[in-house]
Structure 1
Amino acid sequence: MYSRILVPLSVALPLAAAVPLNIFCERSPIPELPTSGPTCSKADSTQLSCHNTTSVSNLCCFNSPGGQLLLTQFWDTNPSVGPVDSWTLHGLWPDNCDGSYEQFCDKARETTDITGVLQSFGKTDLLNYMNTYWKSNDGNDESFWEHEWNKHGTCISTFDPPCYPGAKKGQDIVDYTDKAVSLFKNLATYNILASAGITPSSSKTYALADLQAAIVKVHGKEATLNCNSGVLTEVWYHYNVYGSAQSGQYVAANPIGSKSTCPATGIKYVPKSGGGGGSTTTTTKTTTTTGGPTSTPTGGSGDPFSGKGYLNVDKGGCLISTGKWYTKGTCATYTATASGSGFTLKSSKGNCDIVSGEFQCGPTVSAGTFAASGGKLANGSATSFYTSGDANDGSQLSVFTTSDGRTTTLTITWQSL
């Protein structure tokens, strides 16, 4: 649930049953939140992030280098996550003005207890809301929130320690989660689309232009819309900001960096299963942030993979859509199609093959033929793959068919969906 399709620059609420607010308000101003973070004067807030005409030294009142802030949301249907009549919150991300981004910027400020921090500040209403609308697809919401703060929140300059003189430890985390939720409430994607007659359907399909038109009517700018095999899964709303991320003025911005991955036509917006109106859904998806899958791999000895599934790694995590091993994000959905005595694999990035000894998927990759042995991905008769390092530290690691001095041996199993 945590993966992104950008080029990294480094290592490169009241009631739980409440529906997100300001559904149809045209370009409603984002409410300012009281914080004990930076106090920015009017003079400090005259330049728009990514559009400043002079150098800005006070980065507690000006977002840099992450001057384009993204409010990102999920529409998870397999498994169904969150209320059936609402998208769920993914995170608040600081992208650089060229579309690249930094990540995990301050190890010292990383946390393993978002829940505890919010409780220590008496933020029970916020926490209740998050438990309904800020959902992980592996059932571990706490780890998901931690990941979003550790990876993205620590890279927003206005949350840096110098911006919080004398503040209680954790105030920056409270402000980050508070702001993400506030933005989310102002962008109820389900209702934005429904107001244009775009509703989840098992049979209808939609055009990208129609989705964007509905979003522009409320947000003011197009968003980045992402699909997996033509199925709508995610939306990214882009902003520039006057002043701090905590209490500044958010201005809708055109997307930069990665383009929408949805096709021009034939977009599937499939329904969720389960209850709506603020209910929660127990999930069983094994895209864990730590450790490996708990489900039993499918496919007997020599049986080829077929249909849709995940490629889980024995040391935890899985293969993401580029073919790299990752433990801190969403497992890519691969499509396996019979080919001779074996099968081909394809992710949202494109066909997969062994390229110069590396497992790769992408738009320029030709479809290769793979084999299986005992439910494991095989290279010929061998089921061992190799990499250097450990993806459990947050790295995205290339996977190879030969050791050549690489210190980590992996096996990759198929989990059918």
Structure 2
Amino acid sequence: FQFVQQWPPTNCRVRIKRPCSNPRPLQYFTIHGLWPSNYSNPTKPSNCNGSQFNFTKVSPKMRVKLKRSWPDVESGNDTRFWEGEWNKHGTCSEGSLNQMQYFERSHEMWYSFNITEILKNASIVPHPTQTWKYSDIVAPIKTATKRTPVLRCKPDPAQNKSGPKTQLLHEVV
């Protein structure tokens, strides 16, 4: 599995062609998804022939938790986001996790591996003018999780083309 957390401000900032319709001003990492993967092709499997998303299989108590840990930061339609992630990735995990377990496990991982707090404890706090090296971000996450994270970054669309090239942190895998 790949557990992917996203930084909401970057998620909306880099969407030029399809801007976020109802962005949330969240200042903490949120879940993008829990993706079954294999070593040879980390983007597979997806869109498996499992059971389709059933809102009633996610308990009301879990829905409240997911609204914080796994919100739709682009349009505000949390249920549609969860449905899309389940249908694309969760259906491929049914051999290990049923729908409720999939969302429970994702929330537990988000809570246990709180990237926002891990970075804050290393004095890395998002700021519009502050930059960090890749290694500065990887080191505290690796120490806390005992795994080397993959950082996915995106170019800043507002960046001066002739200036130094910086990237915006988008996702932590």
Equivalent position of 1:135 in the other structure? 71
Structure 1 Cα separation of the partners of residues 134 and 41 of structure 2: 21
Structure 2 Cα separation of the partners of residues 135 and 219 of structure 1: 23
Structure ranking higher in helix proportion: 2
How far off its partner does 1:82 sit? 6.1
Q: Give the counterpart of 1:149 among 86, 90, 93.
A: 86
Instruction: Output the amino acid matched with 1:125.
Output: K
Equivalent position of 1:363 in the other structure? none
Structure 2 Cα separation of the partners of residues 151 and 82 of structure 1: 26
Aligned-residue CA RMSD (Å) = 1.8
Counterpart secondary structure, 2:67: helix
8 Å CA contact 1:82, 1:135 repeated in 2: no
Equivalent position of 2:57 in the other structure? 117
Structure 1 Cα separation of the partners of residues 171 and 46 of structure 2: 20
| Pairing 1:211–2:137 present | yes
Counterpart secondary structure, 2:36: strand
| Pairing 1:234–2:160 present | no
8 Å CA contact 1:153, 1:159 repeated in 2: no
Deviations 1:79-137 (A, max 9, x none): 653642x2111111111121341111115x112x42x222xxxx222110111221111
Alignment of 1:170-181 (within 5 A): 172-181=98-107
With over 3 angstroms needed to count, the CA separation of the structure-2 counterparts of 1:129 and 1:82, relative to structure 1, is: farther
Counterpart secondary structure, 2:95: helix
8 Å CA contact 2:69, 2:110 repeated in 1: no
Structure 2 Cα separation of the partners of residues 219 and 98 of structure 1: 23
Deviations 1:23-54 (A, max 9, x none): xxxxxxxxxxxxxxxxxxxxxxxxxxxxxxxx
How far off its partner does 1:159 sit? 3.9
Gaps of 5+ in 2: 13-19, 156-166
Structure 1 Cα separation of the partners of residues 131 and 35 of structure 2: 30
| Pairing 1:98–2:18 present | no
Instruction: Output the amino acid matched with 1:135.
Output: P
8 Å CA contact 1:82, 1:88 repeated in 2: no
Instruction: Output the amino acid matched with 1:141.
Output: D
Counterpart secondary structure, 2:8: coil
Count of aligned pairs? 149
With over 3 angstroms needed to count, the CA separation of the structure-2 counterparts of 1:181 and 1:191, relative to structure 1, is: same
How far off its partner does 1:76 sit? 1.1
TM-score (norm 2): 0.79
How far off its partner does 1:154 sit? 1.2
With over 3 angstroms needed to count, the CA separation of the structure-2 counterparts of 1:187 and 1:146, relative to structure 1, is: same
Q: Larger RCO: Structure 1 or Structure 2 (Cα < 8 Å, ≥ 6 residues apart)?
A: 2
Counterpart secondary structure, 1:178: helix
Equivalent position of 1:197 in the other structure? 123
Deviations 1:186-223 (A, max 9, x none): 11101111111111111110000110101111011211
Equivalent position of 1:222 in the other structure? 148
How far off its partner does 1:157 sit? 5.2
Alignment of 1:334-373 (within 5 A): none
Structure 2 Cα separation of the partners of residues 110 and 98 of structure 1: 27
8 Å CA contact 2:8, 2:26 repeated in 1: no
Structure 2 Cα separation of the partners of residues 157 and 83 of structure 1: 31
Counterpart secondary structure, 2:31: strand
Instruction: Output the amino acid matched with 2:30.
Output: T
Identity %: 27
Structure 1 Cα separation of the partners of residues 86 and 25 of structure 2: 21
Structure 1 Cα separation of the partners of residues 81 and 134 of structure 2: 29
Q: Give the counterpart of 1:185 among 102, 111, 125.
A: 111
Larger Rg: 1
| Pairing 1:74–2:74 present | no
Instruction: Output the amino acid matched with 1:131.
Output: K
How far off its partner does 1:175 sit? 1.0
